[in-house]
Structure 1
């Protein structure tokens, strides 16, 4: 009798744990949505707050983890057999392409897909481009005048820039990997081989003082005047400037790589219905207009009115063959890590 009772209790405990693991717990304070994001925390939190205001039933029940874009991909891949998150928010087309190849994603609702122009959708609509990110040069305007600041990519490898550059660590950053790959790809298009691109990155490494581990460290060290110059995405630079940072963006004369930054629904995530609701909210024109106006975002969803700051920036897009980048980025970046970084 005692053995049967213990066995019965074991079954009950297992069922309870199983239901919790599947996201079926329904208490008023239980987690209703888990997001892995590489988006700036202040911007992501602004969206989550607006989502909870629009859907009070989820107030305080959205869990968000901020990581580097490459780290998000690695974590979602590692959790494939037992997904812990529902939304993958932020990452390049290359990273989401790897997610598609690994069967990590499932399509959002059709009405959400239809809001995003077809050229900004991933394979089989398994992920959607939320915004376009221009990658530019920026500098601390208390250290350099506009005349002293670099005007184009080639200026970064001139002798007078030695020791004046800090770059976000490349290996963990989808943004930096894409910028470096675009610069290698531009050289490869002209010569048929990546060697000239490697030579450019070797010269850039010689001028680079250090590689901060994350964007927050990069901003802090530029503001502390450890070095005046860096490269990063325009949106984040403008956000930092709006908060008082002495940053001035420079649109490179030969053009800026413009990346597609995406969002996707994780396959077999624990809260699929809530994930659909969040994606519907995120990709509403009203939400994207708010992000364009307040957070300097370039949405893929068509807006009624372009943001006022866009005319000031003067967007100049570098032609980039992203299909070639997707094919060769991993090998190019492995070469950079093994043969260029801190070896110049």
Structure 2
């Protein structure tokens, strides 16, 4: 894990969506906290001037640096949020101010990685940064993006899409999912998982608007349940029978079953299967591992067991799931 500081520049402009701006820094700051500064991001809000910027929520935000200052720095990640205007009852249109587009295009040339959240994809597209790429945006403005930029392969379904060094995210809250994926790429899945736990988020929703994930942290009240959940995730490839879990918790099988039903609303076996499906999902989305290897890693025993679990919980097969939700690596 590198300890080098990674500069994340977030573009600011009047009318920008507030959560697009504030969500990712929360993820990056928790990454630093969870790793004891071993994973170090520095976030800088950049605008045309250092005057306060009024967001779509009416909250004013102070930039850290100007666009000119940002262009002179070594940018690890350029993050472009978006803004919309209301054009009718329940209808919005993504905005792409020409001056901001020019700045985004210039800054992109200095960045290792380019990202957009929500309708920020429209700014990237207007800057020519999505030409020939697959991209996503908020479902409500996806038709606009496709119509205005036919050279972009628009897919409104995924939570986010990676195409080479360009990442695009879907709806506003997806900025958290996208930020977690960036953390996973930079510092590993384990760090991203720890940050997700702090945010009380799903383990991972990398590529599906449909929330196929099981909740990362179901509400519990006892340290024993917390320990059992972490034990399951740490040993997901092992047998993890009710007897095994009872032995780990130093209680009877009947008692461990009562604990899971009372605290998590399911049997120990059901929870273990859900956790295994979750880990397998992540493997299918983010790796090229064979089904046999995933079966071994996740503790399913046989491929048939894996397939049955996917059909039962996700109403699909592992092969079809990977075909639809595998993130594009470029």
Same fold (TM over 0.5): no
Name which structure has the greater RCO, CA cutoff 8 Å, separation 6+: 1
* TM-score, scaled relative to structure 1: 0.24
* TM-score, scaled relative to structure 2: 0.25
